Amino acid sequence: MKKHLSIALTTTLVAFSLSASAARPASITFESNGTTADGVEYANFSVKCSNGEKQILTAWDNRKKWCVGSDPLENCHQKQIKTAKKACKD
C-alpha cells in the first residue's frame, strides 16, 4: 500500500512541477501602429515570456480583438492577457 501511495505522490509532484515551469508572460510592450492595404488599423505589441522568448501580438478593432502573430483570423481572443498566455505557451 505504501508503495502505491509513494508512486501516486511522485507522479502528482512531477506533473505539478512540469505545469509550474510553463512559460508565462513577463511583460507586454507596445511596438507600433499600422494599417492594412484595406485601411484597417491595428497595433503591434511584443510579449516577453518568462522563458526568454519574445512573441508578437496584434490588436485589432480598437484593441477589442487580440491575436498571436499578425493574422487576424487565427489564434485570437478578446483579452490581451489570455492572448499573451497563449503566445508564451506555444
Using one digit for the tens of pLDDT, what is the confidence trace for 31-51? Answer: 999 999 999 999 999 999 999
Tell me the pLDDT of the chain averaged across its residues: 83
Pick the more confident residue, 18 or 59.
59
Give this prediction's pTM: 0.72
Flag whether pLDDT at 12 surpasses 80. Answer: no
Contact criterion met (CB below 8 Å) for 38 and 8: no
Name residue 87's amino acid.
Answer: A
Residue ranges of alpha helices (H) inside the chain are 2-20, 80-89
Flag whether pLDDT at 56 surpasses 80. Answer: yes
**Per-residue DSSP letter, 1:** -
